[in-house]
Copies of this chain bind each other. A is one copy, B any other.
Amino acid sequence: MSRTDWSGIPEYLEQVASKGKDIVWCVAGAGHGGVSMAGHLGVMGFRVQMYNRTDEHLEAIRWYKGIDVEGAVEGFGPVRLASSNMGEAIEGADVVMIVTPSTAHYGMALAMAPFLKDGQIVVLNPGRTGGALEFRAVLQREGCTARAVIVEAQTFLYASRMIKRNRGHIFRIKNSVPVAALPSFLTPAVLKVLDVAFPQFSAGSNVLATSLENIGAVFHPALTLLNAAWIESTGGDFEYYLQGISPSVARILQNIDDERLALARALGIRTVSAREWLYLTYDAIGDDLCSAIRATSSYAGIKAPPTVNHRYIWEDVPMSLVPMASMGELYGVPTPAIDLTIDLANMMHETDYRRTGRTVETLGIQGMSVEDLHRLVTEG
């Protein structure tokens, strides 16, 4: 494995951070998340460019020369360029914020490979599991030699909705979202740049940690699949967490969580259990996962998705559970509950998420020892 020589990059990132409001951001993805983030950056006075694969989705923003934001942030955010031409869209951008389902990361990496420059920061918001590793592997395969810094956010910064193509509603901005750079020794330098706009970002250990702290992978796919009939027969009209997670369903989620924790342990990553996470995030306490969920008042009123053809399945299964199962196989951690959830999704959706999902092969870590893997995520 050839190591990248990162010399000069930390100093370069220091310079970028010092540009302040002149930092140029490209937001890639003009959906629920991207519109809100681009608008917010514009409202804060940053220079904003946008990319979207489908050009028509950008027309309103182009015509309006910006995005209106409402909710937790209010105002007009100018967007100086909105393009479906990747080279044009990321030209001159100090930071590229990718705000798409993780199923689009592969295509984004392919499209960016010819244009990335040394020191450009690419943040996956969020990476799900293995996002940064997959992104890096695609760039390498495409012969990209630019020393771009791939960064993984552990979750998405906002709860937001796109109201119109040029209007976003931000319901809530999270207090703290861990991010990690690949390589992780660059995380502090990257954070200095991101912090100019987003003080909410904090340092994650490395991209394995942000990948394995993926709590959505524990809650969402099994919860959706095991409530498929309830969802399909009522259009999702029930309390998704409070009713959908009953004692029997919670036992499956607990098994999935135990396997995630075992995988993290095998990789030497410290991460919290789903039950601890409920306590840390929502002050919810319970003797078991089901009680802890039912003690989470923030979940009251959250209905189930209206259909099982939802990103909780078509994103979280291939982009979160499949890579966990694949890493479990490589590192000798059995993942029966995760496997069962993948099998159930495959059977219900009549597809093969193992074939389309992230594996140690597509993450470029096939055959790597734990030590090699740590060196990779730490030193690049």
Contact = CB atoms under 8 A, between A and B. Distances in A.
A246 to B, nearest CB: 3
A231 B228 CA distance: 13
Contact of A246 (B233, B251, B340, B344): B233
Contacts of A233: 238, 243-244, 246
A255 interface: yes
Interface in A255-302: 255
Contact of A340 (B234, B244, B248, B340): B340
A343 B344 CA distance: 11
A259 B255 CA distance: 27
A36 to B, nearest CB: 31
Interface in A284-336: 308, 336
Nearest to A228: B248
A252 B340 CA distance: 13
A243 B226 contact: no
B252 A344 contact: yes
A240 to B, nearest CB: 10
Interface in A188-244: 225-234, 238, 243-244
B228 A348 contact: no
A249 interface: yes
A74 to B, nearest CB: 39
Contact of A226 (B226, B246, B343, B350): B226
A226 B348 CA distance: 11
Contacts of A308: 248
Contacts of A225: 226, 248
A185 B337 CA distance: 46
Interface in A5-48: none
A228 B344 CA distance: 15
Contacts of A232: 246-249
A245 interface: yes
A1 interface: no
A347 to B, nearest CB: 6
Interface string A61-92: 00000000000000000000000000000000
A227 B227 CA distance: 6
Given A232-B246, A232-B249, 12 more contacts: A228-B246, A229-B246, A229-B249, A232-B248, A233-B246, A248-B348, A251-B348, A252-B344, A252-B347, A336-B347, A340-B343, A340-B347
Q: Which 7 A-B pairs have the closest CB atoms?
A: A232-B246, A228-B248, A233-B243, A229-B246, A248-B348, A230-B230, A229-B249
